[in-house]
Amino acid sequence: MRGPHNIWRLIRTGATFERTGAMKVALEAMEVPPRLRLLARVLGWPFKWLGYRGDPALPPVTRAITALGPAYIKFGQVLSTRPDVVGPELALQLRMLQDRLPPFDIATAKASFESDIGLPVDQVFSAFSEPVAAASIAQVHRATLAATGQDVAVKVLRPGIERAFRRDVDAFHLAAAIIELASPASRRLRPSEVIRHFEGVVLGELDLRLEAAAASEFAANTKDDAGFRVPTPVWHLSGRRVMVMDWAEGTPMGDVPAILAAGHDAPALARRVLELFLSHALRDGYFHADMHQGNLKVAANGDIIAYDFGIMGQIDEYTRRVYAEILMGFIAKDYRRVAEVHFEAGYVPRDRDVDAFARALRAVGEPIFGMDASQISMARLLAYLFEVTERFGMETRTELILLQRTMVVVEGVARSLDPHLNMWQGARPVVETYIRENLGPRAMLRDLARTARVLGRFGPRLPALAEAALIRQTEPVVVVTVPSRRRAAGLMALGAAIALAGVAVAEML
């Protein structure tokens, strides 16, 4: 579907924002400089008549985003968690994008279930409600299993959602290409790679079998986390377009007045949301990457319930250690160490000045300390951080996109519960625990043991591998018999010794 026709889609995007009045509202809410506001309005105004009309009953930005389609709605969901970036009024308007979009009819949902699962709805369920929540990709119905009487949630993909997403993502690819062509400096941000990453994430979200597997794995990882619950899937009633899970009963995380009325401690919930996310990301390397208010509930006993596992993040152990060191450096105000970690990980080109980078990071971190979150303009901090990354030639790390995006969303959720929460102070206990367990002497011994086990498995093959390598190095000379075998025997002994050391270390740990 990629091609010049996507120019039309981009034009209609700007035209829709102009026609609905969303352009002016969004630019002002995000404190865009006056000159850029004027430029955006001038470029959008001639095409205003081409924009979608949207639902006049909705506020301007929400009206434009819902008219443009699911990919835009996803972006709006992220912004809805950031009142410090878009302003509290706009954030509140955008919150409806999380789970209060127009639903499709119940007959279509039932037909989709029967087509995907191959069983009649009336035979499987003794009750099947009208939609209780409708989001950008799917909607949810509450139902009761006829066989057991268990209440479940039935998630059904929107009709034609795959085609709609592909259309939007194709336009995003074109926009990224145009940005890279028009602004060579933007290439360090890898806009095309970012869109490809986004495309992969979204396409995975459109197969509910993968979401069921993600829910199952996430539930296994977090089963011992106090005050946290994950509904489990009903596997025999789940397919590509339909998924059935345990029903999660609770107060929506976005309804703060109801949470307070129920007697819950909102600041404590805020801290727990932040700590849970960091624990999952650092401890497990597998985390819920769509943790906005629409995907979280508070149970009557105060437990946090997470659901909607279409987007999950995964990071390897090395990246987790780098991320933890960066967070800990900020928490400890050790900006020199934060800068060094960036250089060691290759995030900043080695020809840049580490001391200058440390001073620039200090300008980002210091405003956060000594004041609560309500006094910090996250929009200005993000703008300055962007300037820093540009000045020092940092490239976008696609493996960290979901982690960084989710961190922003989670902080927004936490601050909606406690506007005075300081993210760094809330993160400190989790990060310190991770550092203590994964960057100290015991961690080094574990790494050694793991390496030894891997080498030990290759022990029987070491002589042959060594001999083959030596033969390749000495060709075309054929005088390699006795020396190669001696070296091979030495390597075999070394491999055996390392394996034994690994077993010993493993026993110690």
C-alpha span between 169 and 70 (Å, rounded): 10
φ, ψ (nearest 5 deg) of residue 134:
-135, 120
- Name the strands in the sheet holding 304-306, side by side, starting at the edge strand that comes first in the sequence: 228-229, 304-306, 296-298, 251-252
Q: Report the predicted TM-score, pTM, of the whole model to 2 decimal places.
A: 0.71
φ, ψ (nearest 5 deg) of residue 305:
-110, 125
DSSP letter at 97 equals G
Q: Which residues are catalytic?
A: 290
Sheet strands (E) in 215-306: 228-229, 242-246, 251-252, 286-288, 296-298, 304-306
Between strands 251-252 and 125-134, the pairing is unpaired
Quick one: pLDDT at residue 322? 85
Task: Say if residues 315 and 400 touch (Cβ distance below 8 Å).
Answer: yes
Helix (H, G, I), strand (E, B) or coil at 315: coil
Quick one: pLDDT at residue 498? 39
Name 278's Cβ contacts closer than 8 Å, sequence gap at least 6.
427, 430, 431, 434
Name 65's Cβ contacts closer than 8 Å, sequence gap at least 6.
22, 72, 73, 75, 76, 94, 97
Name 322's Cβ contacts closer than 8 Å, sequence gap at least 6.
341, 344, 345
User: Closest by alpha carbon to 343, among 364, 358, 328?
Assistant: 358
Q: Which residues pair with 152 in a beta bridge?
A: 143, 246
Per residue, the 3-state secondary structure of 113-136, as one string, reads HHHHHCCCHHHHEEEEEEEEEECC
Quick one: pLDDT at residue 259? 96
Quick one: pLDDT at residue 346? 84
C-alpha span between 471 and 479 (Å, rounded): 9
Helix (H, G, I), strand (E, B) or coil at 207: coil
Q: Which residues pair with 141 in a beta bridge?
A: 131, 154
Q: Tokens 């390597």 belong to which residue? A: 491
User: What pLDDT tens digit does each residue of the chain (509 aa) get?
Assistant: 555 667 777 788 888 888 888 888 877 776 666 766 676 666 667 777 788 888 888 888 888 888 888 778 877 776 676 665 677 778 777 877 766 678 899 999 999 999 999 999 999 999 999 999 888 788 999 999 999 999 999 999 999 888 888 777 777 777 777 777 766 665 655 677 767 777 777 777 789 999 999 999 999 999 999 999 999 999 999 999 999 999 989 999 989 999 999 999 999 999 999 999 989 998 999 999 888 888 899 999 999 999 989 888 888 888 888 888 888 888 788 999 988 988 888 888 888 899 999 998 888 778 766 665 566 555 555 566 666 777 787 766 656 667 777 887 888 889 889 988 877 778 888 888 888 887 766 666 766 776 777 666 666 776 777 778 777 766 654 444 444 444 444 444 444 443 333 333 333 34
What separation in angstroms does the CA of 324 have from each of 327, 340, 423? 5, 13, 14
Quick one: pLDDT at residue 481? 44
Quick one: pLDDT at residue 299? 95
Which tokens belong to 130?
């009208």
Domain ranges of the chain: 6-97, 102-223+231-247, 248-439, 441-508
Peptide bond into 476 cis (omega under 30): yes
Per the rule left: phi > 0, alpha: psi between -120 and 50, beta: everything else, 459 is: alpha
